[in-house]
A = this chain, B = another copy of it.
Amino acid sequence: MSSVSNAIARMILEMLEETGDAEIQRNLMAQSLGCVPSQINYVIASRFPPEQGYIVESRRGGGGCIRIRRVKTDRGTAFLALINALGPRLDEFTLRAHIANLFGQDFIDEQAAALLRAAGCSAALRGLSPPVGDALRASIFKQMLLTLSR
């Protein structure tokens, strides 16, 4: 039951625990473990997904590397819950109430609140009939919440 993938995952987890982030060179790691380089990608994709709060960045070319971090977030679940609770339409008043709520619970800072309000304000969505505007406001808000959840 000790597959190569498990070994890779363990190595990454150890690095994460030690220093808070794991920076690896794909080819080197693959060589030292005797597997193909793309298996590293497989492990990262299957065991360190963004849904679990992992952030993966990489650089190609000479001196390239892969960096894995983890961001702690219970906020993420709150955002996702709100997205699911939202209907297909959203008026500006209700939007502002949601934003105030998120701000009050410290899930977003002042700037994020201001941006969310600006994107959904009537001035930004001017010229649309109420039903269309409300649908779009809901759509935009959800998209932005999704971004914040990651």
Residues of A within 8 A of B (CB): 1-3, 5-6, 23, 25, 61-63, 65, 111-112, 114-119, 121, 123-128, 135-136, 139-140, 142-144, 146-148
State in angstroms the CA–CA spacing of A85 and B97 once bound together. Answer: 33
State the copy count for this chain. Answer: 2
Q: A118, B136: Cβ atoms under 8 Å?
A: no
State in angstroms the CA–CA spacing of A140 and B133 once bound together: 12
- Whether the pair B136, A125 counts as a contact (CB closer than 8 A) is yes
A58 to chain B, nearest CB (A): 11
Q: A2-B63, A3-B62 are known contacts. Are A143 and B121 too (CB-CB below 8 A)?
A: yes
B residues in contact with A147, CB < 8 Å = 114-115, 117-118
Would A111 and B112 count as touching, CB distance under 8 A? Answer: yes
Contact of A136 among B2, B62, B136, B146 (CB under 8 A): B136
Is the Cβ of B118 less than 8 Å from the Cβ of A146?
yes
A125 touching B111 in the complex, CB below 8 Å, given contacts A1-B63, A1-B65: no
- Whether B136 pairs with A119 at a CB distance below 8 angstroms is no
Residues of B within 8 A of A62 (CB): 3, 5
Q: Which residue of B lies closest to A126 (CB)?
A: B139
Q: Are A5 and B63 in contact (CB under 8 A)?
A: yes
